[in-house]
Amino acid sequence: MHNITLVKDLKDIYGENLVSVILYGENTDSEQPKSKSEQNIIAIFNKLEASDLKNAITAIKKWRKTKNPLPIVMSEGEWFSSADVYPIEYTEIKNNHEILYGKNVVAPIAVSKYDLRLQCEYEIKNLLVRIRQIYLGNSDNPQFMVKTLEENSAKIIRILKSALSLFDIPAPDEYSEVIQKMKEKTLFDGEIFVEILSAKENKRKFAPQKIENLVQRAINSTDLLYKFINSLENGE
Angstrom CA distances, 125 to 66, 84, 155, 174, 216, stand at: 36, 19, 12, 24, 16
Q: What is the CATH number of the domain that holds 23?
A: 3.30.460
d(CA 161, CA 181): 9
Classify residue 217: in a domain, yes or no.
yes
Contacts of 231 (CB under 8 A, 6+ apart): none
Task: Give me the pLDDT at residue 27, please.
Answer: 52
What DSSP string describes 187-217?
Answer: ---THHHHHHHHHHHTTPPPPHHHHHHHHHH
One domain for residues 97 and 126: no
Q: Show the domain range for 35.
A: 2-102
Considering the domain architecture, whether residues 162 and 218 belong to the same structural domain is answered as yes
Domain stop point among 102, 130, 163:
102
Please enumerate in sequence order all residues whose Cβ is within 8 A of that of 233, keeping only pairs 6 or more positions apart, or say none: 117, 121
Residues 6+ apart with CB under 8 A from 141: none
Q: pLDDT by residue for the chain (236 residues), tens digit each? A: 467 788 999 999 999 999 999 999 865 444 444 444 566 899 999 999 998 999 999 889 988 888 888 999 999 999 999 999 999 999 999 999 999 999 999 999 999 999 999 999 999 999 999 999 999 999 999 999 999 999 999 999 999 999 999 999 999 999 999 999 999 999 999 999 999 999 999 999 999 889 999 999 999 999 999 999 999 986 55
Which pTM was predicted?
0.88
Do 143 and 229 share a domain, yes or no? yes
